[in-house]
Homo-oligomer: A and B are copies of this chain.
Amino acid sequence: MLLIRNVMNQNILLTVDAAVFGYEHGHISVLLVKRKYAPFKGEWALPGGFVLENENLEEAVERELLEETGVKINYLEQLYTYGDTMRDPRGRVVSVAYFGLVKPTVFKITAATDAEQVAWFPVNKLPKLAFDHKTILNMAVKRLQGKITYEPIGFELLDKKFPFSDLEKLYTTVLGREIDRRNFKKKITNLKILDELDEKVSNGRGRPGSLFQFNEQRYFELKKEGIIFEI
């Protein structure tokens, strides 16, 4: 490494940032941390930090998330790399942004601890964000809205077992528009990726509904056969 550093004296630093979403009661929230040091001290920012020399990018994201927020992520994918020369006042810092989803259990635990430094913000009630994190977050929201229509990532935001109405409510929330409950159910059931359980659950008033469970195995089989998930 010193070999290449001798030839190539490149003063660029590399970070990772994570836009992690959670869902509860008709609200999509994003995980933010309050910055302890300058620049943007005291402002809210996406969790993240410098990449270590001996770790892969995903490992860096998972480590920073755990260190800064205590969150163990269950879904993570690369979003985009932000490398504009002026995006960090300290100098040239390039950031590889990731897109993550957590289940309600993780969401609740995080919401209960560290309220001072770590918090979930509904995406429509965001504070001012440090750096270009608002830009990153905008792209992450679009990724969520886009991807949820052609890949079954919505289940990553729900408990393992969930009533069908929860899934429907999630989709209306993310997509920001009403969807016909009956046609939606037809689409999902035709895909045969949900197992209906014997358990029923009551949502306060109204008829109790069955609990469902996403069958990932079945999804992969159907994908191989060319059957595509689409909402």
Give A contacts to B, CB under 8 Å: 1, 3-5, 8, 10-14, 50-57, 78, 80-81, 83-85, 90-94, 96
Contacts and interface: CB of A to CB of B under 8 A. Distances in A.
Nearest to A83: B57
A57 B12 contact: no
A4 B90 contact: yes
A12 B80 CA distance: 19
- Identify the 3 closest CB pairs spanning chains A and B, nearest first: A1-B91, A57-B83, A4-B90
Contact of A51 (B5, B10, B51): B10
B57 A81 contact: yes
A91 B81 CA distance: 21
Contacts of A91: 1, 3-5
Q: Is the interface of A mostly helix, strand, loop or mixed?
A: loop
B8 A57 contact: no
A93 B94 CA distance: 13
A8 B10 CA distance: 14
Nearest to A90: B4
Given A1-B11, A5-B11, 17 more contacts: A1-B90, A3-B90, A5-B13, A5-B91, A8-B50, A10-B13, A10-B14, A10-B51, A11-B53, A53-B85, A54-B85, A55-B85, A56-B83, A57-B84, A78-B80, A83-B96, A94-B96
17 contacts: A1-B11, A3-B90, A4-B91, A4-B93, A5-B13, A8-B50, A10-B13, A10-B50, A10-B52, A14-B14, A51-B94, A54-B85, A57-B81, A57-B83, A57-B84, A57-B94, A83-B96
Contact of A13 (B4, B50, B93): B4
A146 to B, nearest CB: 10
Contacts of A14: 10, 12, 14, 83, 94
Contacts of A90: 1, 3-4
A81 B78 contact: yes
B80 A10 contact: no
Nearest to A3: B90
A55 B13 CA distance: 14
A81 B91 CA distance: 21
A84 to B, nearest CB: 5
